[in-house]
A and B are shown apart, each in its own frame.
Chain A
Amino acid sequence: MMLRYIFQRLMIAIPTLLAISFVVFFLIQLPPGSFLDAKIAAMELEGGVDMAEIETLKNTYHFDRPMIVQYYYWITGFVTGDMGKSFETDVEVTRTLAELVPVTAAISLFTIFFTWSLAIPFGITAAVKRNTPLDYLLTFVGLTAMATPAFIIALIFQVVMQSIWPQFDPTGLISREYANAPWSLAKFADLLKHLWVPVFILGVGGTAGMIRILRANVIDELKKQYVLCARARGMHPVKVILKYPVRVAINPLVSGIGSILPSIISGSMIISIVLGLPTLGPRVLQALMSQDTYLAASCVFIQCVLAVVGILISDLLLAVVDPRIKFGGK
């Protein structure tokens, strides 16, 4: 049943993704001019136009052919794992990804972990102790955190850290001595040392929001008759809360995991810029602005694939955690 459902969904996903890939490629090419035009203009400014280099570029990337042909070259390359090179830096797209994705994903995953491990206990506490001073405190802190944009939190954080711990450098993720070193255990440890700053800054808003959602969900469930019935069976009230209302209230969070999949590799653009984090987001933005087609299209398309896969995962998880939902709506 489940396998057949997954198979069906994947069958639908393939044409969807093909259509998306075309739209992505088309949209990136849409602004007037192309990378090549810009390049020629830049060369003219510098003095001479190197026709030989232009020719090579033209031939490798089929700039003189219609867009649909360029698309064909890109997508066939993409599915075989060859995403081409960045026009700008002449670096393989796959290499850029290999460099930036692990760091981006590490930040995102730790942020999710941070968010959940704070939001779940606090959300439950706020619900159980609703309308007590503790709840009001959590609500106040939560609403303040939610209403403050992350980049403001980042700036405040920097200012505060400056005054209490001047030696600490909150920007960047990797110490200078490891900057160009290959990945090693020591480099990873160094990464972890810096990681908590962006994780904290990125996580605060989400944590506060999730506390609100969880609090509301748990309160809704606490009022339900089955909670009283479970107490009437002689179960300890704390166990009752964890076993029944929390279990139900947490379903939307669990099934929501799928939908955050694409953001795991993109990371937060503004925070990355403010804190100077080497994540994929700013790199893609730059590629989009300079019409660095292969790099931009590949990154955007990968995110689309993750989004489609994420929705599938969400649907499957929802059916797993909530027996009322059946595969295929039957």
Chain B
Amino acid sequence: MSKDPILKLENVHVKYDTDDGAVHAVRGVTYDVYEDETLAIVGESGCGKSQSSYAAMGLIQPPGRVSEGKIWFRNKDGEKAINLLDFHKDSKEMRSIRGGPLAMIFQEPMTALSPVHRIGQHLDEVLKLHTDLDKKQRFDRACELLTQVGIPDAAKRYKQYSFEFSGGMRQRIMIAIALACNPRLLIADEPTTGLDVTIQNQILELMASLQEKHHMGVVLITHDLAVVAENADRVAVMYLGRIVETTDVHTLFEAPKHPYTVALLKSVVGSPLTGEGRLQAIRGTVPGPLDVVPGCPFHPRCDKYMPGVCDQELPTLEAVNEKTCAACFLYQNRKKEEASS
């Protein structure tokens, strides 16, 4: 593993200016991803997992914008990282990174391909945008990619339309498109949601084998703790637009620190390590996007809530030990003493 991260988000904020006021979808997200590594991002629906990765891709659409933060991307090992936010999201520079060295696959493979274009045209498009290959070379490369993601008879399949493929096949095609230009980093936003379990496993295995081959960094966004246990190296837990805990995958299940993480793990029916791990509701409700919670955003639902401390200030993400960082006053001694005194 190299020492420099490929992608590093630093205190990234995403805001939507809506008629009802500003929706603060992402409220300071910080994480980094290294070569050959899979970082899983977990959290309840609406906590900003997708929005923070869209920010990295330059895909936030008005009325939304990245209002704060830095997004460092290192195209080649040893090279200096560039802050993607220095470029306009649709500038030539950003477009050459997006889909090339920084690729993304999405939830909902059923609608990810244009219904009126041949699947080969999608592959051809991305190759045309990011390489100098001529028509014939692009066709060969497209067929090679299709074969690589497990679609037999590639030359024939190249000419077919998306409705002629199943959901699992379509997600394979999306992976082929994302991998077409040998990305350094792949963001996979719930790549297996909506697919049945066997297909899910096939897709995740395929991603793992391709990662090994190309030494990619992978950001794996998911709801599913079983998927995390199987595939991730490190995990970032998100709550209401913030990262509340980062740790490696073993520590996450063995010694979770943040009360939200603990609740999240408890809410899983069965053991996450044996599969079948789907999230159940946690006590209390998630505050609306426009509500402002003073102090720790989790305090209305927290079992370890310390009155006078947790509702006063916002806890920052700090190292708890050499493995874990958590944003919780329980692990910040100065604050804890204040509470007991």
Contact = CB atoms under 8 A, between A and B. Distances in A.
Interface of A: 224-226, 228-237, 244, 247-248, 251, 321-324
Contacts of A247: 114, 116-117
Contacts of A228: 59, 106
Interface residues of B, number: 30
B106 A248 contact: no
A232 B102 CA distance: 9
A323 to B, nearest CB: 5
A323 B161 contact: yes
B90 A248 contact: no
Query: Which of A230, A233, A237, A323: most chain B Cβ within 10 A?
Result: A233
B98 interface: yes
A100 B124 CA distance: 51
B111 A226 contact: yes
A80 B99 CA distance: 63
Chain A to chain B: the 3 pairs with minimum beta-carbon distance, closest first: A234-B99, A233-B99, A225-B111
A235 B116 contact: no
A248 B95 contact: no
Interface string B135-170: 000000000000000000000000001010000000
Interface of B is mostly: mixed
Nearest to B94: A234
B75 to A, nearest CB: 14
A234 B108 contact: no
30 contacts: A225-B112, A226-B111, A226-B114, A228-B59, A228-B106, A229-B106, A229-B112, A230-B114, A232-B57, A232-B59, A232-B99, A233-B126, A233-B129, A234-B96, A234-B97, A234-B130, A235-B95, A236-B95, A237-B90, A244-B114, A247-B117, A248-B114, A251-B116, A323-B115, A323-B116, A323-B161, A323-B163, A324-B115, A324-B116, A324-B163
B113 A229 contact: yes
Given A233-B129, A235-B125, A322-B116, A225 B99 contact: no
Nearest to B180: A233
Contacts of B130: 234
Contact of B98 (A224, A225, A232): A232
A157 B311 CA distance: 69
A237 B126 CA distance: 14
B312 to A, nearest CB: 40
B104 interface: yes
A79 B113 CA distance: 49
B191 interface: no
Contacts of B100: 234
B203 interface: no
Contact of A248 (B103, B104, B116, B163): B116
- Which has the most chain B C-beta neighbours within 10 Å: A226, A231, A232, A251? A232
Contact of A235 (B103, B129, B161): B129
A251 B117 CA distance: 13
Interface string B73-95: 00000000000000000100001
B125 A224 contact: no
Contacts of B98: 231-234
Contact of A234 (B112, B114, B126): B126
Interface in B50-66: 57, 59
